[in-house]
Structure 1
Amino acid sequence: MLAFGVLFVSYAFTRAQNIELFNASQLTLNRTSGAINTLVLITSSYFVVRGVEAIKRGLNQQCSHWLTGAFLLGGVFVGIKMVEFQDKFAADITMSTNNFYMFYLSLTFFHFMHVLMGMVILAVIIMKARHGGYSAHDYVGVETGASFWHMVDFLWIILFPLVYIIR
């Protein structure tokens, strides 16, 4: 979170120095994709909450079903983000294009990597839950993974308006 915080503050400071450049570059972003990804991640967090609730009642299979839904929505996020990245690279937009794209690509790729890590964590928890590896009294691994997933979602909820919307 500290790394994202530093990047968010650096973005805001640099934006204040280059408002016209940032506003013009921001218009090239696909806000619809960003908004869809926001809904996807918020929904995935709801699924994670339901998975945690299920495991607290000792329902391993129900937990794994909810977390599988969250995992699949993570895949939707990744797919949409990959299309966005491909569009930028096809237009010869890279981190060296300008300061806005340096921050956009850095922030979104760093977040993207955290989503992938979150998916790995969810996959491990899903497999363990499917094999009865948790109980109503032993579910700290589920809560830890859920906390990571919610942190990743929270960061996107800050990143999306900061980079895509606020002018």
Structure 2
Amino acid sequence: MADVAASQVETQDEGGDLLLWILVWSELATFGVLFCAFLTVSLFQPAEFALGKLQLSPRIAGFNTVVLVASSWTAALAVQAGAARRLQQIYLAATASLGLGFVAVKLVEYGQEISKAADPAFGSFFELYFLITGFHLAHVVFLALVLILLACRPRQSDVVMATTIWHVVDLIWLVMFPLLYLG
């Protein structure tokens, strides 16, 4: 009987792992396509993209990078806390709070940039910039809400899945930051 129960748990874990990796790779592929589109268009509009990048604030984006790295740290601590439920809840709430802080800073940044979006001097730069960063921002908002829900009733398997996706979204930002803001 114990073997059957262990077998069912292994099957459930494997299914969860498969779903998690499908989700991870689909996120990476989607953002990979967006990054390739950005790079391709930048080859056809180099002056416009160079001018567009000058309109961005690498300092604000750099600060937001630190916020997301800190959120990845608290997400890892939430997984590590495991059975210490109260501690896990605190780390999940901290991760969500940092994520929402990222959103607030990004919205302030958008406020400074939105007026430039329709200017033809920037070519397609701002359309792609808002598409890529907006899609990323939607992921951060959604996952922060998921983490808040998990903080109320954490289950280790759900915490592992949500924080893994959180790390992927953070990793995507770490690629996005130099692509959009530097050089």
**TM-score interval, normalised by the smaller of the two chains:** 0.7 to 0.9
Q: Residue deviations 1:92-129, cap 9 Å, x none?
A: 52497631101111001000000001111101110103
- Distance apart, 1:17 and its partner CA: 1.5
Cα 1:104–1:24, aligned 2, differ >3 Å: closer, same or farther?
same
Give yes or no for contact 1:95–1:106 (8 Å, CA) kept in 2: no
Q: CA RMSD in A?
A: 1.5
Q: Tell me, in whole angstroms, the C-alpha distance in 1 between the residues paired with 2:126 and 2:33.
A: 17
1:3: Cα distance to partner?
A: 1.6
| 2:63 alignment partner AA | I
Is the CA contact (8 Å cut-off) linking 1:40 and 1:73 kept in structure 2? yes
Gaps of 5+ in 2: 1-26
CA distance in 2, matches of 1:145, 1:33: 26
Q: CA deviation at 1:160?
A: 0.7
Matched, 1:93 2:120: no
Note if 1:108 corresponds to 2:133. Answer: yes
Alignment map for 1:1-167 (pairs within 5 Å): 1=27, 2-55=29-82, 58-89=83-114, 91-94=115-118, 98-129=123-154, 134=155, 139-165=156-182, 167=183
Q: Which structure has the highest helix share of the two? A: 2
Instruction: Say how many residue pairs are matched.
Output: 155
The structure having more radius of gyration, on CA atoms, is 2
- TM-score, scaled to structure 2: 0.81
Tell me, in whole angstroms, the C-alpha distance in 1 between the residues paired with 2:65 and 2:118: 24
TM-score by length of 1: 0.88
Task: Tell me the distance in 1 between the aligned counterparts of 2:88 and 2:118.
Answer: 41
- How far has the Cα of 1:43 moved from its partner? 0.5
Distance 2:172 2:116 in 1: 27
Runs of 4+ in 1 over 6 A off after TM superposition: none
Secondary structure of 2:55's counterpart equals coil
Deviations 1:29-58 (A, max 9, x none): 011110001000000000000010001xx1
**CA 1:94–1:74 in structure 2 vs 1: closer, same or farther (change >3 Å)?**
farther
Whether the 8 Å CA contact 2:140–2:169 is kept in 1: the answer is: yes
